[in-house]
Amino acid sequence: MASFKLLWALLFATSALAQSLADVCTVSYVADNLPSAADFNGLIFDASSVTANAVYNASANGQNNFVSATGLNYCNVTFSYSHAGRTNDTYSLWYYLPEPSSFQNRFLATGGGGEAINSGASSLAQGIINGAVAGLTDGGFGSFNNEVTDVLLLAKGTINYEALYSFGYKGIHEMTIVGKQLAKNFYNASSIYSYYFGCSEGGREGWRQVQRYGKQFDGAVIGAPAIRQAYQQVNHLSSGVIETQMNYYPPPCELERILNDTIAFCDPLDGKPDGVVSRTDLCRLQFNANSSIGNSYYCAASGGMGGGMGRPPSKRQIGGGGATTPAQNGTVTAEGAAVAQSIVNGLFDSEGRQIYMSYQPSATFSDAQTSYNSTSDEWYITASGIGVTWVNMFLDEVDSDSLSLDNVTADTLREWILEGLQKYSSTMQTVWPDLEEFHDAGGKVLSYHGESDFSIPTISSVIYQDSVREVMYPNMTYNESMAQINDWYRLFLVPGAGHCGPSDTQPNGPWPLTTLETLIQWVEDDVKPETLNGTVTEVDEEGDSQQICAFPLRPHWSGNNTSVTCIYPDEAALDTWFPDLNFIHLPVY
Ligand SMILES: *[C@@H]1O[C@H](CO)[C@@H](O)[C@H](O)[C@H]1NC(C)=O
Ligand SMILES: *[C@@H]1O[C@H](CO)[C@@H](O)[C@H](O)[C@H]1NC(C)=O
Ligand SMILES: *[C@@H]1O[C@H](CO)[C@@H](O)[C@H](O)[C@H]1NC(C)=O
Ligand SMILES: *[C@@H]1O[C@H](CO)[C@@H](O)[C@H](O)[C@H]1NC(C)=O
Ligand SMILES: *[C@@H]1O[C@H](CO)[C@@H](O)[C@H](O)[C@H]1NC(C)=O
Ligand SMILES: *[C@@H]1O[C@H](CO)[C@@H](O)[C@H](O)[C@H]1NC(C)=O
Ligand SMILES: *[C@@H]1O[C@H](CO)[C@@H](O)[C@H](O)[C@H]1NC(C)=O
Ligand SMILES: *[C@@H]1O[C@H](CO)[C@@H](O)[C@H](O)[C@H]1NC(C)=O
Ligand SMILES: *[C@@H]1O[C@H](CO)[C@@H](O)[C@H](O)[C@H]1NC(C)=O
Ligand SMILES: *[C@@H]1O[C@H](CO)[C@@H](O)[C@H](O)[C@H]1NC(C)=O
Ligand SMILES: *[C@@H]1O[C@H](CO)[C@@H](O)[C@H](O)[C@H]1NC(C)=O
Ligand SMILES: *[C@@H]1O[C@H](CO)[C@@H](O)[C@H](O)[C@H]1NC(C)=O
Ligand SMILES: [Ca+2]
């Protein structure tokens, strides 16, 4: 017994696993355990930049990403590195490392959203909860809070390609390989599992890693990815262009009434009248916005923030949210219904060829939201900010927030898409469909997308999965190849959910909060998630868990059965997920 204890003590005397957080969470211990330049060609670590502090009993708000937790102990570490041969090149990394007794040989890389390459340090807590070292990067953009657009243009007409490629894929790749090595050094671990978690732009960032570096992750959680960006970002302008081309600018309340009618009509198509449209495919086949014509709407006046009755809006409100709107009282017009239906149908060029698809019916009309001009007493459309950034900065290389849609047609949008496709295929487009290296290495992808996403069309995730299926299993029938792909890459459409979160307009819908845990079980214990665990986070059914079906299976409820059945859709419903984007001769992956 005594000799066993001695052996144990000898083996672990210097091992981090036997040590306390206070022992290892010091600047010198971290500096001693940084990866060396020899580990990675061209990366030069700055040991003098290391910060490290132990954090005890911290709590973490998981928001829409994970279940909130308390009592977390971890080491909070930052340091920077540069690239050989480059001047003024500083990339900063931020990692949380679990206390040694909680480390479970895992690493978790996290991504950003919008134009950001990270989601802030609060996203790292998800790693600690799961015994993983978790990391994020500043992408070399000058600070953890900077976005790529803060540094994308060196001058008008000159793109900062280092920043572009960092955002495209290099920044997160380097944060990951450095973080995995740091974890091995810090805990003296010989092998670790490696994971990714991100939604929206963070989802795009995850896909690019999986596509480009097939052996880097054992598994990735990828939510509503902003892939196919040459299309995706321009498509944000489609709703506004439809309005300008039809010369009709619906008051927001009119579109809200059409949305309410859509939800009311389509809710029961899934067999469960709960205010959630779980079958937007059936909704697309059956709901006609013309049926709203003549229905009345009323929305009370809303003041902007601050300004009370009679006071002018403050300067800060201009161009921001919270603008003043008058009371809207009217009935849905034929023009309003036509705008809504055109938006749902997607973008077509002047020759009638489909350019891109839209959001599912039951998604809020976010890009179509008009503003009120109190001088002219008229509603007008301002082009979607993310679309404007793409066209101005990424395509035209000018730093400007404004873009008039006056003379912009669907054909103009088509030209912008083709330009972006040429320019950003290797960085932002992110649709490389051959994932053989990842698959051969045993990688797993757990992807999800709100079925009522108003920012990234749900169909986008469906057609990317289908592209991978077609490219990787060309000789199989649809069902055979779907079965193959579902063994390692599953796509869950979340009923009623919006963009990377549940939706206020369909509050009884589920939202997945245990996705990373599900992925870990799949990777480490081979537990394939037949369905995805969702939680109802709002009102009536709050706290209930509800299972989410994997595509192409679709949810159905029958009788008074409270649990879902995942059924194979009929042909017409299935076809709605595969629009014929025939405006271009190339396949649209
Ligand atoms: C690291 O672990 C190996 C066994 O995997 C062991 O031989 C070595 O002594 C350990 N090093 C330290 C510093 O604990
Ligand atoms: C840990 O934090 C909680 C609040 O989240 C507090 O109630 C508790 O007393 C703390 N425990 C210790 C040991 O500090
Ligand atoms: C983590 O370290 C950074 C950089 O030193 C610091 O700004 C931040 O406040 C620290 N966070 C915690 C929770 O200690
Ligand atoms: C490095 O950055 C500093 C400050 O931003 C700037 O003044 C200097 O010109 C830059 N040097 C090079 C070689 O780019
Ligand atoms: C839409 O439905 C919501 C929720 O029932 C309601 O609060 C809102 O007033 C409705 N809006 C319109 C324009 O009918
Ligand atoms: C809606 O009604 C208009 C006439 O107001 C008609 O031109 C149009 O085809 C109808 N749309 C659908 C989808 O039925
Ligand atoms: C809306 O307009 C109708 C018809 O003009 C009127 O009867 C109704 O009272 C108005 N509703 C509100 C809340 O102002
Ligand atoms: C509002 O209307 C006035 C009067 O027609 C016009 O001069 C002004 O440019 C409009 N403002 C916006 C933001 O469209
Ligand atoms: C749109 O085209 C008209 C006619 O060619 C032109 O007068 C106007 O300046 C254009 N508007 C913008 C914003 O380019
Ligand atoms: C598909 O079938 C063709 C023709 O039989 C064959 O050459 C090819 O290798 C097959 N591809 C795969 C991925 O099995
Ligand atoms: C499903 O999510 C709920 C939280 O809503 C959680 O309590 C439960 O453990 C999860 N079930 C599984 C199998 O992960
Ligand atoms: C569902 O439950 C209600 C109330 O308990 C009952 O009246 C109804 O017959 C049930 N419907 C079916 C299909 O079982
Ligand atoms: Ca329903």
What tens digit of pLDDT does each residue of 218-245 get?
999 999 999 999 999 999 999 999 999 9
380 within ligand 8 shell (Cβ under 6 A): yes
Tokens describing residue 352 = 């009638």
474 within ligand 10 shell (Cβ under 6 A): yes
Inter-CA distances, 341 with 232, 249, 259, 346, Å: 20, 14, 11, 9
Q: Whose CA is nearest to atom 6 of ligand 3?
A: 76
CA 380 distance to own-chain centroid: 29
Max CA distance (Å), the chain:
90
Q: Whose CA is nearest to atom 8 of ligand 12?
A: 560
**pLDDT for the residue numbered 8:** 45
Structure-token match 């997308």, residue found: 449
Q: Whose CA is nearest to atom 12 of ligand 11?
A: 533
Task: Tell me the CB-side half-sphere exposure of residue 97, using CA atoms within 13 A.
Answer: 32
Name the percent of the chain lying above pLDDT 90.
Answer: 89
Inter-CA distances, 320 with 305, 371, 436, 504, Å: 10, 11, 45, 21
Helix (H) or strand (E) holding 166: none
**pLDDT for the residue numbered 553:** 98
My answer on whether omega of the bond before 552 falls inside 30° of 0, hence cis, is yes
The one-letter code for the residue type at 31 is A
61 within ligand 2 shell (Cβ under 6 A): no
Q: Whose CA is nearest to atom 7 of ligand 11?
A: 545
**pLDDT for the residue numbered 16:** 56
Phi-psi region of 184 (alpha: psi -120 to 50; beta: other; left: phi over 0): alpha
- In ligand 5, the atom with minimum distance to the C-alpha of 254 is 13
Pick from 496, 510, 495, 502: nearest CA to 541: 510
190 within ligand 1 shell (Cβ under 6 A): yes
Distance 164 CA to ligand 4 centre (A): 19
Q: Any bridge partners for residue 434, and if so which?
A: none
Using an 8 Å Cβ cutoff, are 129 and 72 in contact?
Answer: yes
Residue numbers of the chain with a pLDDT score lower than 70: 1-17, 304-323, 538-542
14 within ligand 10 shell (Cβ under 6 A): no
Tokens describing residue 328 = 């809207």
Task: Calculate Rg over the CA atoms of the chain.
Answer: 25
Ligand 12, CB cutoff 6 Å, lining residues: 559-560
User: Cβ of 134: how many Cβ atoms within 10 Å?
Assistant: 28
Q: What distance in Å separates the CA atoms of residue 335 and residue 276, rounded to the nearest whole number? A: 27
**pLDDT for the residue numbered 540:** 62
The one-letter code for the residue type at 546 is Q
- In ligand 12, the atom with minimum distance to the C-alpha of 559 is 13
**pLDDT for the residue numbered 6:** 44
Q: Strand, coil or helix: what is 80?
A: strand
Name the residue of 25, 26, 51, 59 whose CB sits within 8 Å of the most ligand 3 atoms, as the mutation to test its pocket: 51
* Terminal alpha carbon distance of the chain: 63
Give the residue numbers marked as catalytic. 200, 453, 499
Q: Whose CA is nearest to atom 14 of ligand 2?
A: 57
Structure-token match 């996705």, residue found: 515
**Proximal ligand: closest to the CA of 436:** 10
